A and B are shown apart, each in its own frame.
Chain A
Amino acid sequence: MPLKIVVTLHGIRTRGQWQKQITPYLARHGLIPYHLDYGFLGVLSFLMPWARASRVQWLRGELRDLMDRTGARRVSLIAHSFGTWLALEVLEAENGNIRFDRVVLTGSIVAREFPWGSTLLRKRWIQAVRNERATGDWVVRAAELFSRLAGPLAPRAGASGAVGFTTACPGVHERQIAGGHSEVLNIANYEQWARFIAFPRLPDDHLRRVRMLLQQIRALAAARLGLADDLVRANIFVPSASALRMIPGAWDNMTWAPEHDIELELDHGSTGRAFTDGTPFSIRRRGASWTAGVLPGPEQAKLNPRLQWVLSLPIGRIVTRDDVAVARDVVGVLNIDGLDSVPALLQTPGDPTLKTLVFTLWASTEKIRQSLALANMGEPLHDD
């Protein structure tokens, strides 16, 4: 899984002391901080269209340069106040040439009507947003008022940092605290922001629980399929940068290292189909190699050559739809797979015992779903 660069961007009338304070929290989660500083910008400059436009141009150049030099296809972002406005102006101006991974908005003055539906879901210019808002933030309310009163010369601004967005959709996570424009930059929040951005890497608390459950699910599958424990493996794939990738460390008995970096297309093979359809799939090998329809060549070369079968279980909230059990809001796919031979039970897919086993294993992923859902929002593990 590629390393993540986190750009930080301050607001007006400050040089962003918080950007320096947040560095160790990001580093702890394997994130690479990249602090940007456009200098001290006063309120009068903020009110001038040309001053704002020059900062937008500056940020476009900085981000292009950063991505060129690092080869990163996306960067994550933590921005405060005017920094939030700048970042989303750049996003729209670049029309998809610059894309963000995971974004934390604090003291946001982005318009409350910002089109998240198209930005996140349709165009995928951003993967996920956490909007940290403070109910007592008068600065963002003043920015909204100015935007309304000053007409076309004013920035398209809003009080999203106080009252949230009117256009929220899946992938936009709203968080609220009591306090003002600067209180939202509280050191107590930095750990959660780092966790949020690091996802799908899991922090220790979630990873411990997920690994324990994976181990138990793998053991149950091995016992019921009549296989030696060391021939059965388990792993979790989640969407990351337009592909399905394994969560680092969220695996059991996966000792063939090249597989850790495998990339699967979202609707290919049993893993991709489980992710898009929300039902379990299995696939088994019937010859010397897997078909090209399942994996492109470079990815197929990463597979353990002993791999013979895969059972893919979508991790999502299991619901009943049109009399069929399906996983909704699928966050990933738990794969149980096996080496050397295909067990007899998997060769008779209509066998009631196999059906029962597949359902048992599928429903047993619920606590893993809960952990992934919390980690996706940056939240710690809660006691049940």
Chain B
Amino acid sequence: MTTELHAHPSACAECHDEIVQFVFRTAASLGLLTNARAMLDAAPQELAESFEQAVRSAGLAS
């Protein structure tokens, strides 16, 4: 899965903040999932299960 990021500076005269959209493309999801699982290595089991359920339901499981 690759990621595209879209920055949307606020359309006001004095911009003090920046909003960013995270867009995840599914074309190359394998690398992202591997890294995400590594991030969850030390996480509580409940959280890791929650992640895996979402990944399965999205059809991204590998």
Which residues of A are at the interface with B, using a C-beta cutoff of 8 A?
212-213, 216-217, 220, 224, 269-270, 273, 277, 279-294, 317-320, 323-325, 349-350, 352, 355-360, 362-368, 384
Contacts and interface: CB of A to CB of B under 8 A. Distances in A.
Interface of B: 1, 3, 5, 7, 10-12, 14-27, 32, 35-36, 39-40, 43-44, 46-47, 49-51, 53-55, 57-60
Contacts, number: 142
Given A283-B20, A293-B12, A320-B26, A363 B7 contact: no
A360 B36 contact: yes
B50 A368 contact: yes
A365 B50 contact: yes
Contacts of B55: 363
A292 B14 CA distance: 9
Chain B interface, >50% SS class:
mixed
A350 B58 contact: no
Contact of A220 (B39, B49, B53): B39
A174 B22 CA distance: 36
Contacts of A355: 3, 5, 22, 24, 32
28 contacts: A216-B46, A216-B47, A217-B47, A270-B19, A279-B21, A280-B21, A280-B22, A281-B20, A282-B20, A283-B18, A287-B16, A291-B10, A294-B17, A294-B19, A319-B58, A319-B59, A320-B26, A323-B26, A323-B27, A324-B25, A325-B25, A325-B60, A349-B20, A355-B22, A358-B22, A360-B36, A363-B55, A367-B49
B50 A213 contact: yes
A357 to B, nearest CB: 7
B30 to A, nearest CB: 12
